[in-house]
Amino acid sequence: MRFFVISDNSDTLTGLRLAGIDGTRVSSTEDVKEAVSKVIANPDIGVLLITEKLARETPDLIYDLKLKLTHTLVVEIPDRHGTGRSADSITRYIREAIGIRV
């Protein structure tokens, strides 16, 4: 199983390549769709990392992939500019999912 990253900036891509993760840099919504199609067609890739900015630009595509794919895990990652999530996103997620305050 391999990892693959789709990024919108070269810094994130370079950092992950230094960690041994292959990837591609895209600049448009069409490029994202094309890159995702290639990744999900490759059975060797088990985890697709995509920057949060690109996921926000293509929410329907990413949401469908997360729901329907059985052989590839899709994970949104922050880029070098930080995360778009609020500071309490994990605790809020736990509270909503299982009803426990952390």
Q: What is the CATH number of the domain that holds 91?
A: 3.40.50.10580
Which residues, including other chains, have CB under 8 Å from residue 45's CB and lie 6 or more apart? 1, 2, 3, 4, 39, 72
Residue 61 has pLDDT above 90, yes or no: yes
The pLDDT score that the predictor gives to residue 88 is 62
Residue 34 has pLDDT above 80, yes or no: yes
Least confident of 26-30, 36-40, 76-80: 76-80
Sheet with 73-77: strands ordered across: 22-25, 2-7, 45-51, 73-77
Name the pLDDT band for 85 (thresholds 50, 70, 90). low
Sign of CA dihedral 46, 49, 54, 58: positive
Length of the chain, in residues: 102
Nearest one of 4, 2, 34 to 17, comparing CA atoms: 4
Average pLDDT of the chain to the nearest whole number: 85
Number of independent structural domains in the chain: 1
Cα distance between residue 77 and residue 12, in whole Å: 10
Cα distance between residue 50 and residue 55, in whole Å: 7
The first and second tokens of residue 64, run together, are 């469908």
Name the pLDDT band for 6 (thresholds 50, 70, 90). very high
Residue 102 has pLDDT above 60, yes or no: no
* Mean of pLDDT values over 1-13: 92
Residues of the domain holding 52: 2-98
Q: Are 44 and 1 in contact (CB under 8 A)?
A: yes
